[in-house]
Amino acid sequence: MPLFRRQPRLAASIATQLVGVSPIAAAPLVGGGWVVLSAAEWIHVPDSESGAALTRHGWHEVDNAQWVTDQNSLVVRWINGETLALRLDGENERVPQVVRERVEASIVHVVQRDLPGGNKVRAVVRREGQGDVSSQVSVVGTAAVTAYVAELAVALEAEARAAVGLAE
């Protein structure tokens, strides 16, 4: 195992937008743009012709991510429920590996309960990029947010926070 990893080579136009960022993985995207991954954040640099803004997300904002091998794409679900699918332009096994490592590294504690129909309520205590700790609750699946689900979410969040010594 190497003692260090070489930083990925970024196009000059991308690197100038990311002054101060130390990428640990990066890949060009089909259709233009890049995904750049650092220890602290996920950065989506859109194609300059698209007019879209560069977006940054801390790893604690990733609810889950899935690598779709046959499509060479990464599908990310953010904690706000939005999803993003990015197709990598070329082979890059480092990107899905880093996404998995960084998301797992942000998780401090998880409590979840099953709901009918294969759905779940999950409370997660996560470490943010600067070391702060926060909690999140999500419904995994297609369950409607009923009074029962809302009460369960509140109870699970309190349980997760108590387990790591956070105030309610």
pTM comes to 0.82
Q: Over the stretch 131-167, which tens digit does the pLDDT of each residue have? A: 889 999 988 777 677 898 899 999 999 999 999 998 8
pLDDT at 113: 94
pLDDT of residue 5: 52
Tens of pLDDT along 79-131? 888 899 999 998 888 999 999 999 999 999 999 999 888 888 999 999 987 88
Higher pLDDT residue, 15 or 53?
53
Output the pLDDT for position 117.
Answer: 83
What's the confidence (pLDDT) of residue 6?
53
Per-residue pLDDT at 1:
47
Task: Tell me: pLDDT of 54 over 80.
Answer: yes
* Segments of the chain assigned E as strands: 23-28, 34-38, 41-45, 55-58, 62-68, 73-78, 83-87, 107-114, 120-127, 133-140
